[in-house]
Amino acid sequence: MSKINSVTCPVCGCLCDDIELTIADGIVAQVKNGCAMCEAKFFSHSNEHRLKTPLIRKDGKLVPTTYTVAVRKSAEILAKANYPILYGWSSTDSEAQRVGVELAEEVGGVLDNTAVVCHGPSILSVQEVGIPTCTLGQIRHRADLLIYWGCNPWSAHPRHLERYTAFTDGRFENSEWMSYLNKVKAAAGRKKIKSLERKGILKHRREREIPTVSDNKPTEILDKKGRKLIVVDVRKSMTAEIADYFLQVKPGKDYELIQGIRALVRDQELDVEEVAGVPVEYLQQLVDAMISCDFGVIFFGMGLTQSPSKFRNIDVAISLIRDLNMRTKFAIMPMRGHFNVTGANTVFTWQSGYPYAVDFSLGYPRYNPGETTVVDVLLRQESDAGLVIASDPVSNFPRKAVEHLVKNPLIVIDPHMNATSLVGDIIIPSSIVGVEKEGTAYRMDHVPLPLKKVVDPPKGVLSDEEILNRILKEVRKIKSNRLEAA
C-alpha cells in the first residue's frame, strides 16, 4: 500500500492538484480531497467497462484484434481518405495533442476538439473583442464580487468555489464558508419548523410561496461585507441555492439582460419597467454592486454559449467587462469542461495558429468556423472517414451529425467502452491519461499542470501518444510506398 500526494485530477477544467491517492495491489484504493467525479475517475481504471484489447468490426460485429492490425487498418483508412475528421482531444494530454496536429496535417484532415460543442462560441467572441481575464489565484486573493452566469459549478466543477473563489482564503479577501454554513443551518432550522408545523406541533403560519423573480430583491446582498456571490441562470441550480443572490433570467434573454446592464453601467436610463423579466430597479442595484467592488469576476458556461444568440451572448458579456474596467477592476472567464480542452486549444494554436476547427486539406491550416467545424462537416456529409479520440461524440453530438459519422469508417481511441466505441469500426484501447500515463494538461485559466501516472495500465495497453505516433508512422510508410509505386 502506498500513498501519492499532489496528484492532478483529470476530470474537469479545475484541475485540482491536491488529490491524495492510496494505491493497493496496483489499483486505486482510496481518493482523498477529490469530488465525486474525481473519485469515479480514479476508480474507473479498474472497473468492468474498461477496454483491454483492440476491436475491429467484422460482419457488423466487433471482434478482438491486435494493436498491429488495428494501427495498420487505421492508417490505411486515414491515408486513403480524402477528407477525414480527427475529433476529440480534450481528455488527453498535450503530448498526444501535439502528435494529433501532425497526424491531421499529414492526412490533410479536419482537426477539431470538443470546444466546438462547449466554448467554441466563446473563442469566436474572444477573437472579436478580446478578453480581460486572469488566473484563478488572482480571484482567490482579490475578488470581492463573484458572478456565475449560466453555469453551475456545484455540479460541473464541484471544487471551484472551495479552491478558487467564494470559499477560499486569499491575501486580500477571506472565505465565505462560515457565512454559508450559517445560512445552511438557518435553512435547516426553517425546514424543521415547517415539519413541526405539518405535524401540528407548531401553529401553521403563512404558506410559503414559490419565490418568483420579482420577490428576489438584491438589497440585502449589497449591504453584506466580504465576498458576494451572485448566480444568474434560467433555473435555480445547486449553485444558485448557495448564492447570496440568485437572479433568474428568462430562457434566451441573457443577451437582452447583459445589454441592459451595460446601459446602466454607462449611466444611461432605461425607459422600461423590466429587462428579461428582471425589474430595472433590481438591475440598478446589481450594477451599483458591480461598480463599487474592488475586483469583480464573471464566470460563464454553457448557459450562454449553447442558448440562442450563442457567441453574441459572450460578445456582450465581454463587452460588459470592458466597460466595467473603465470603472473598477473586472475579469471574465469561461468555465471549461473537459480537463484538457484548454490544452487542446492551446496546442492547436501554437502549432497551427487556430484553436479548433482547423482544416488541413489544402496543405496549410485553414479556419472558418461554421464551415470547418466538425458538426457542420458532418451535417453537410462531406467527411469520408473519422478518428475519434478521448471523447464521445455519439453521446454529445446531435443525432443527424452522428448519422454521417457512423456511415463512414470510424476509428475510436478510448480507455473505456462508450457510445462512440459501440458504433465504431476500429476500437483501440488506450491508457487513462493522468491515471496510467503522465503528461500535461491546461487548467481553465491556461495554467499548465503535470498529470501523474499512479498505476500501470492493463497489460499491453498503449497510451494515446504512442498509438497516434504509430498510426502517423504507418501513414507515412503507406504514403511513401504510394509515391514509389507512382
Scan residues 47-76 and list those touching another protein (CB under 8 A). Answer: 47-49, 60
Backbone angles phi, psi at 368, to 5 degrees: -150, 80
The one among 183, 194, 224, 329 contacting another protein by CB under 8 A: 329
Report angle CA 251, 254, 256 to the nearest 5 degrees: 115
The one among 199, 205, 225, 399 contacting another protein by CB under 8 A: 399
458 binds another protein (CB under 8 A): no
346 binds another protein (CB under 8 A): yes
What is the C-alpha to C-alpha distance for residues 257 and 243, in angstroms, rounded to an integer?
A: 19
Judged by CB under 8 A, the stretch of 76-84, 185-193, 272-280, 399-407 that binds another protein is: 399-407
Q: Which of 166, 171, 174 is nearest to 147 (CA)?
A: 166
What is the C-alpha to C-alpha distance for residues 47 and 450, in angstroms, rounded to an integer?
A: 25
Judged by CB under 8 A, the stretch of 7-15, 71-79, 188-196, 381-389 that binds another protein is: 7-15
90 binds another protein (CB under 8 A): no
Q: Which is nearer to another protein, 234 or 263 (CB)?
A: 234
215 binds another protein (CB under 8 A): no
Cα dihedral sign, 260-261-263-267: positive
| Residue 41 near residue 11, CB atoms below 8 Å | yes
The one among 102, 197, 281, 456 contacting another protein by CB under 8 A: 102
Judged by CB under 8 A, the stretch of 63-71, 76-84, 320-328, 458-466 that binds another protein is: 320-328
What is the C-alpha to C-alpha distance for residues 174 and 292, in angstroms, rounded to an integer?
A: 18
Q: Which of 128, 147, 145, 144 is nearest to 313 (CA)?
A: 128
Q: Which of 233, 323, 221, 230 is nearest to 277 (CA)?
A: 233
361 binds another protein (CB under 8 A): no
What is the C-alpha to C-alpha distance for residues 470 and 385, in angstroms, rounded to an integer?
A: 18
476 binds another protein (CB under 8 A): no
| Alpha helices by DSSP H, 175-310 | 177-198, 219-223, 238-242, 254-265, 280-292, 302-305
The one among 303, 409, 429, 457 contacting another protein by CB under 8 A: 303
Q: Which is nearer to another protein, 245 or 397 (CB)?
A: 397
State which of positions 117-156 bind another protein (CB under 8 A): 117, 120-121, 123-124, 126-138, 140-142, 152, 154-156
Judged by CB under 8 A, the stretch of 177-185, 186-194, 221-229, 248-256 that binds another protein is: 248-256
The distance of closest approach from Cβ of residue 350 to another protein in the complex, given in angstroms and rounded to an integer, is 5
Torsion of CA 149, 154, 160, 165, to 10 degrees: 60
The one among 72, 236, 256, 263 contacting another protein by CB under 8 A: 236
State which of positions 174-203 bind another protein (CB under 8 A): none
